[in-house]
């Protein structure tokens, strides 16, 4: 019985973009309180476009596969475009997930939104500093 699609198995067995980005533009940390799985997503943004994405996931196979897929989906997208990526889109890109594992894909969406929020905070902190310097 094949419960998972070939794509899910491929991304689980050969996850893309595993690791950290030391000088990340934004980092998203999320966890599922029920199962205890954790996902940390790193984004590098250049001129409003996501040039690099990496992840570290302590979790189930579906969480690893969806983490891997979301890093592939966001590359080359603007930050605004990336915000539109839903957990359903990630699951669809993997050829679907069993219903009972759909919640696992939520980690990918939440981590992406958290990383973009972190990026926005860093950008606005940087802008504030530049303003202060220019007004000094």
Q: Among all residues, which ones are annotated catalytic?
A: 35, 104
Closest CA to 116 of 82, 66, 87, 65: 82
| Under 8 Å between Cβ of 54 and 18 | yes
Q: Nearer Cβ to ligand FES, position 109 or 118? A: 109
Rounded to whole angstroms, the Cα distance separating 99 from 108 reads: 16
H or E, element range at 86: none
Rounded to whole angstroms, the Cα distance separating 112 from 80 reads: 11
Contact positions with ligand FES (CB under 6 A) in 61-120: 62-63, 104, 107
Site string for ligand FES, 8-47 (x = CB under 6 A): ------------------------x--x-x----------
Q: Nearer Cβ to ligand FES, position 89 or 123? A: 89
Stretch that binds ligand FES, among 9-17, 55-63, 71-79, 90-98 (CB under 6 A): 55-63
If one counts every other C-beta atom within 10 angstroms of the C-beta of residue 29, the result is 14
Residues that bind ligand FES (CB under 6 A): 32, 35, 37, 59-60, 62-63, 104, 107
């Amino acid at each position: 019985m094949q419960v998972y699609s070939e794509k899910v198995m491929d991304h689980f067995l050969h996850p893309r973009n595993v690791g950290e980005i030391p000088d990340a533009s934004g980092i998203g940390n999320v966890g599922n309180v029920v199962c205890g799985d954790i996902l940390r997503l790193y984004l590098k943004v250049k001129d409003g476009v996501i040039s690099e994405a990496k992840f570290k996931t302590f979790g189930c196979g579906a969480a690893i596969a969806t983490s891997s897929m979301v890093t592939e989906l966001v590359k080359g997208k603007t930050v605004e475009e990336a915000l539109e990526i839903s957990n359903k889109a990630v699951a669809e890109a993997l050829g679907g997930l069993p219903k009972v594992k759909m919640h696992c894909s939520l980690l990918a969406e939440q981590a992406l939104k958290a990383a973009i929020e972190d990026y926005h905070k860093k950008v606005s902190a940087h802008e504030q500093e530049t303003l202060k310097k220019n007004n000094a």
